[in-house]
């Protein structure tokens, strides 16, 4: 009997941990990238311009609830809500000491540019870039957040409606 109770508790704990893992989505930005421009040049970039369609993680409110703004995607109960799609460009520089990691990730993003693939990058809790209009002057870069690297996203890995919207916005 005691063994059965311990086994039941272990099963419940395992199920709870699985749910928590599934609910934690560390990606800060989902995107379909059209073009990547290294600044000032390709060989020693200190900044990067990423042109495409973007959706950003919506952070939880201070009270722990997950807001879901109009036009956003995902599920509040899983805390994986992402903003409405925005087209334009992101402009990043790198935090001191993380330059090599940033440049490697930027090169990964460049290798996927123009292919219509959905990619994830940045960190949900540390990514707040501003989407600029393509006609806007390139200045005042945001700091690029590193986390899990650049991840190619399968449609099954993210909300189907977000995947469809990114693909449609990326095709323009």
Distance of CA 55 to the CA centre of its chain: 7
Q: What is the pLDDT of residue 127?
A: 67
Q: What is the Cα–Cα distance from 43 to 167, expressed in whole angstroms?
A: 31
Radius of gyration for the alpha carbons in the chain, expressed in angstroms and rounded: 19
Q: Are 101 and 6 in contact (CB under 8 A)?
A: no
Of 26, 143, 148, residue with least CA distance to 79: 26
Of 89, 30, 92, residue with least CA distance to 58: 30
Q: What is the pLDDT of residue 16?
A: 37
Each residue's pLDDT tens digit in the chain (172 positions)? Answer: 554 433 344 333 333 333 333 345 788 999 999 999 999 999 999 999 999 999 999 888 888 888 889 999 988 878 788 999 999 999 999 999 999 999 999 999 999 999 999 999 998 877 679 999 999 999 999 999 988 889 888 755 788 889 989 989 986 6
Of 21, 46, 33, residue with least CA distance to 151: 33
119, containing H or E segment: strand 118-121
Of 158, 117, 122, residue with least CA distance to 48: 122
Q: What is the pTM of this model?
A: 0.82
């Amino acid at each position: 009997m005691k063994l059965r109770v311990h086994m039941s508790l272990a099963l419940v704990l395992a199920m709870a941990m699985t749910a928590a893992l599934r609910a934690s989505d560390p990606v800060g930005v989902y995107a379909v990238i059209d073009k990547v421009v290294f600044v000032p040049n390709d060989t020693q970039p200190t900044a990067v311009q990423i042109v495409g369609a973007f959706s950003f993680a919506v952070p939880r409110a201070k009270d722990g609830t997950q807001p879901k703004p109009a036009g956003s995607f995902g599920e509040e109960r899983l805390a994986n809500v992402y903003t409405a799609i925005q087209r334009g460009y992101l402009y990043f520089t790198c935090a001191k000491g993380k330059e090599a990691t940033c440049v490697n990730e930027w090169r990964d993003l460049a290798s996927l540019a123009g292919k219509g693939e959905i990619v994830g990058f940045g960190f949900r809790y540390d990514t707040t870039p501003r989407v600029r209009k393509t006609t806007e002057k390139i200045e005042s870069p945001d700091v690029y957040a590193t986390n899990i690297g650049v991840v190619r996203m399968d449609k099954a890995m993210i909300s189907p409606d977000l995947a469809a919207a990114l693909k449609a916005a990326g095709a323009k």
